Structure 1
Amino acid sequence: MTRDSSTRDIPTPEQPYRGARALVIGGSIGGLTTALLLRDVGFEVDVYERTATPLHGRGSGIVLQPDTLRWFEERSGLDAAALKTSTERVQYLDRENRIITEEERRWEYTSWGTFYRALLSDFGTEHYHLGAYASGFDDDGDSVTVRFADGRVETADLVVFADGINSPSRAHFDADAEPTYSGYVGWRGTVPLRELSAPTRRLMSDAITYSVVPNSHITLYPIPGEEGVGADDQLMNYVWYRNVPAGPDLTELLTGKNAFVGAVSLHPGQVQDRFVRELRETAAALLAPAAAEVVLATAEPYLQVVLDVRSRRMAQGRTALVGDAACSARPHAAAGTAKAAADAWALHDALLESDGDIARALEAWEPAQLELSQALLSRVTEMGDRSQFHNTWVPGDPSLRFGLYGPGILYPEHIRAQHRQPQATAS
């Protein structure tokens, strides 16, 4: 944002927080969306990311729901079409690659890296700080002081914590909110579409594809590649949920080749070879052949531990929690990034409506976001349990559709009637 220096500190109705400063702790997708929207209402914003090197998403796919994409559709000069792929169907395959059930339903996708780089391009790097671990903070009612592990101290009028599922700041809001293990992990990977067989490309390139097996399922869909969104550049992305008991079995699985145990993930190239061999053997034996082909073709599959956590508070004084720092929900509704963006947009609106009173804005913002977190977490917990433990994940069941606000519901209640796209309701 460029503003004339003679007027940059004078609040306006559109930017009532000119002259105020905000810090965003956490520089991932949720943090950058929050920072852009805070800057949009006038704050001078600095983002502090604990990782010392530029972030990357290892090619992970993101299902784009409206809240996630909204910045690029309403505020950005970047072309949203250059960030996404799409499919027109949802299908379930059996062990012979036959389509058990299918539904016409359009979805759009991006890759983590593609989306992150676009947000960072809009925010810029001048006020984006790497290697900055926020170790503590104090809120005296008039300002918030954040202490960093390297000795840096920063003071601001508003601080938003978007520092992920292992947020050290969450304990200040809810000391009892700790991540709990779901009982299963997500194996992830990507394969260039051009490297898959022609029959598999024809079957899967225009669909979200599921293969459901006892106590497990895999979801696959095409995402942008590093070179763009064209058919020759796209990647087939997947996540395969597999049960692993807590304790020694999980610890051994998460012990990387470097002898370090991953807390929430194990990066590509770090999964022990014997576990990768077992993954491929099981894929060939159980999954639909097209899904198995993708898994078998993955050079370096990696792992994410499926965890649940929800803070009972998201706001206090001049500080707020957003995204996974406040509530990390299992991925089955494809709503993690959408929830972080929804938190940010709702905060943006509350700040505009509060006549410059930050504490009052946060107090007004919190209840609806807590309610949304609880509803999402309850729903995806039930979805995961149906797949992994009860074997009641039924192909084509409408209650299993993606959606932040409910199965197949992509918009909040007060604006849902304005949208008539097929995927906007669960009907």
Structure 2
Amino acid sequence: MNTYDSARAIVVGGSIGGLTTALLLRDLGFAVDIYERTPTALDGRGSGIVLQPDTVRWFTERSTQRLADLSTTTKYVQYLDHANSVIYKEERTWTYTSWGTFYRALLADFGTEHYHLGEFACGFTQTDTTATVRFVSGREETADLVVFADGITSVARQRFDPDASLHYSGYIGWRGTVPMTDLGDKTRTLMSDAITYSVVPQSHITLYPIPGEDGIAPEHRLMNYVWYRNVPAGPELTELLLDKRGFPGSVSVHPGQVQDRYITEMKNTAATQLAPAAAEVVTATKTPYLQVVSDSRSAHMAQGRVALIGDAACSARPHAAAGTAKAAADGWALAAALHDADGDITAALAKWEPGQLELSESLLARVVSMGTRSQVTNTWTPGDPELRFGLYGPGR
């Protein structure tokens, strides 16, 4: 019998971090329910994910699904100049997936019986022995452990740290995907086996191939990108973030909802500024969307028997490709602490918190520095090892 066989856990937020944590808690013996605010299954808007060891650990250690069936791999990192010439190239293998592919695989392992859609958590209370989550629907659920994995707009973060608000970086990310088969032969050949960068003054774009909705075969793959562009805070940003319905976006503007004039300007600028191969991908995108690049970090991640993980606890700029890895790492570390705590949930959370706070702090400092080098000081230098992906440090 496991220590937690009679215990219940609630995970608020059914994204990748929440699903990973829920699976690990269930393996410890908890009866786990996930409550996700969206009314339908998540789709991730087609975004790509750079896979790091913590992100894929569930599939390499415990799942019957094969990571190779969920991912694509490239052998090189390369930088292109304005003439499409490769100005730097190194052999460095990275693996990628699409957000939707990875989400569906985790959900398949967890199942849908205890995965509840359309439940927006709005607060919690706790006693010495239980924690209760309140939902806007009027529902209340009580458990021995509650984990908030409700993302960058977490409603719980303020209860852990009232000062942990979102801080706008000064730039946004244009994101999108294009079927590899829609690209010209030269571009496809140049970029199919590499993560590719095009660096221009106060900006850069990163591109890499990911699985498509129909699988990982070359004919199904998509070229995924994020292009960072400076937009000053104030009226210019506010206007950019108004979608076609007139609704303001705080963290993103969804595919199909970005105002047409901004898409036209973005594609025209890509054609004149970026390496031709990168520009071809951007201009071929049918429904690009916007991500507001912001930072936040809670000074606390544990409160009695309630935990805060992933982007809810620390949302860091994407330059280290470590967002999903950090969420998964929080979940794995929490499970390890609970395993060692012999049933004492509050002691486990208290032991778990300091290490994850330290990891958040170091990651955030590093990505802020990386973003400054690209968007402000123009010191993002091709081949600099300090610019490598990694949760625990460059290349780590």
1:386-427 residue CA offsets vs partner (Å, 9 max, x unmatched)? 100111111110000000000001xxxxxxxxxxxxxxxxxx
Residue matched to 1:310: 297
Alignment of 1:204-215 (within 5 A): 204-215=191-202
The answer to whether residue 330 in structure 2 is matched with residue 339 in structure 1 is no
Alignment of 1:264-413 (within 5 A): 264-409=251-396
How far apart are the structure 1 equivalents of 2:289 and 2:155? 25
What SS class does the counterpart of residue 57 from structure 2 fall into? Answer: helix
Q: Deviation above 2 Å: which 4+ runs of structure 1?
A: none
What SS class does the counterpart of residue 220 from structure 2 fall into? Answer: coil
Residue matched to 1:29: 16
The answer to whether residue 80 in structure 2 is matched with residue 93 in structure 1 is yes
Quote how far apart the aligned CAs of 1:149 are.
0.7
TM-score, scaled to structure 1: 0.92
AA in 2 matched with 1:331: P
How far apart are the structure 2 equivalents of 1:195 and 1:169? 43
Stretches of structure 2 that go unaligned for 5 or more consecutive residues are none
Residue matched to 1:113: 100
AA in 2 matched with 1:348: A
Residue matched to 1:420: none
Alignment of 1:140-219 (within 5 A): 140-219=127-206
1:146-182 residue CA offsets vs partner (Å, 9 max, x unmatched)? 1111111110000000000110111111011001100
Residue matched to 1:63: 50
Quote how far apart the aligned CAs of 1:336 are.
0.1
How far apart are the structure 2 equivalents of 1:372 and 1:336? 12
1:270-320 residue CA offsets vs partner (Å, 9 max, x unmatched)? 111110110111000000000000001001110000010000000011000
TM-score, scaled to structure 2: 0.99
How far apart are the structure 1 equivalents of 2:267 and 2:140? 49
Residue matched to 2:5: 18
Residue matched to 1:75: 62
AA in 1 matched with 2:382: P
How far apart are the structure 2 equivalents of 1:231 and 1:314? 42
How far apart are the structure 1 equivalents of 2:3 and 2:219? 46
Counting matched residue pairs gives: 396
Residue matched to 1:419: none
RMSD over aligned CA atoms reads 0.6
AA in 2 matched with 1:376: L
How far apart are the structure 1 equivalents of 2:123 and 2:248? 26
What SS class does the counterpart of residue 58 from structure 1 fall into? Answer: helix
Residue matched to 1:133: 120
Identity across matched positions, percent: 70
How far apart are the structure 2 equivalents of 1:244 and 1:27? 31
Stretches of structure 1 that go unaligned for 5 or more consecutive residues are 1-11, 410-427
Quote how far apart the aligned CAs of 1:249 are.
0.4
How far apart are the structure 2 equivalents of 1:225 and 1:332? 23
Quote how far apart the aligned CAs of 1:139 are.
1.1
AA in 2 matched with 1:233: H
Quote how far apart the aligned CAs of 1:135 are.
1.1
1:321-343 residue CA offsets vs partner (Å, 9 max, x unmatched)? 00000000000000000000000
How far apart are the structure 2 equivalents of 1:173 and 1:58? 30
How far apart are the structure 2 equivalents of 1:230 and 1:54? 25
